[in-house]
Amino acid sequence: MMTTSSDTSPVSLVTGANKGIGLEAVRRLIGAGHIVYLGARDADRGRPVAESLGARFVQLDVTSDESVSRAAALVAEEQGRLDVLVNNAGITGPFRDVHDYTADDAAMVLMTNLVGYVRVMQAFLPLLELSSDPRIINVSSGLGSFGLLNDPSRKESTAGQPLYAASKAAVNMLSARYAKLLPGIRINIADPGLTDTDLTRVPGHPGAGLGHSVEHGSDAIIAFATGGPETPTGAYRDRDGDLPW
Ligand code: NDP
């Protein structure tokens, strides 16, 4: 059953939000007055974090149809709409010598970073279409940009991570096309920039220990989620502004 919340606070959902940039986005959206659903695949790690912040927990594994459908049913039941969807859940996949990447590696990275975003958008589009100001923020990366790859002054031009970068380039095109197909929804792409999280704090990651804070990493997400009427659609930005595609 779908109900409509009488509360006028915007309703937001952030996926992969038990830690890192997603968690910071939840914290800031609550600060901005939103009702926030903190999505995490592991309830034991997600629920206590949600409770400590005043967010609502929703179990959500972006690789599972069943989990994502259940999450959408919960938000429908409790709120009757969704105003802001932040597709954030992501993985780097393994770090290997380039000769050794396998098809299974590629499938794993794309299954979360690309297919997961499609799965979540499909499940939540009906709820977003009940909002008066619906927004989707797809978290990508500067590694998904051909412009930055070809700019020798940028660190993105030297980084490896071909599977991860390909997944984020795909997210960029996916989002730009969805933005054209769905003019009633602001659909934008946020690049956190190199951010100090568990994702970068791994052996083999070229940016390990070099990233900025999660607050800076969530700036572009928050700008797209809470910006005024001038907020664009189909844009690709980091905290400093537009990025080359
Ligand atoms: P973290 O590793 O800290 O967090 C990633 C989150 O995604 C975790 O909550 C993780 O859950 C979740 N996740 C992974 N797989 C799934 C899944 N199948 N279903 C649901 N949740 C899942 O990384 P960051 O916070 O750094 O990354 C957040 C986003 O920002 C990602 O999309 C990443 O690609 C992007 N990004 C990050 C940058 C950086 O420098 N950190 C730079 C550019 C982009 P669990 O704890 O269960 O593993």
In contact, 88 and 16? CB cutoff 8 Å:
yes
Instruction: Assess whether 19 carries a catalytic annotation.
Output: no
Instruction: Assess whether 37 carries a catalytic annotation.
Output: no
Distance from C-alpha of 37 to C-alpha of 14, rounded to nearest angstrom: 6
Q: What residue owns the CA closest to ligand 1's atom 3?
A: 20
196 lines ligand 1 (CB under 6 A): no
Query: What residue segments make up the domains of the chain, in order of their start?
Result: 11-242
- Residue pLDDT, tens place only, 136-175: 999 999 999 999 999 999 999 987 899 999 999 999 999 9
198 lines ligand 1 (CB under 6 A): yes
Q: What residue owns the CA closest to ligand 1's atom 41?
A: 195
Own/partner long-range contacts of 153-156 (Cβ < 8 Å, ≥24 apart) = 155/194, 155/207
20 lines ligand 1 (CB under 6 A): yes
Which value, in Å, is the radius of gyration of the alpha carbons in the chain? Answer: 17
Which CATH topology does 11-242 take?
A: Rossmann fold (3.40.50)
- Residue pLDDT, tens place only, 168-223: 999 999 999 999 999 999 999 999 999 999 999 987 788 888 899 999 999 999 99
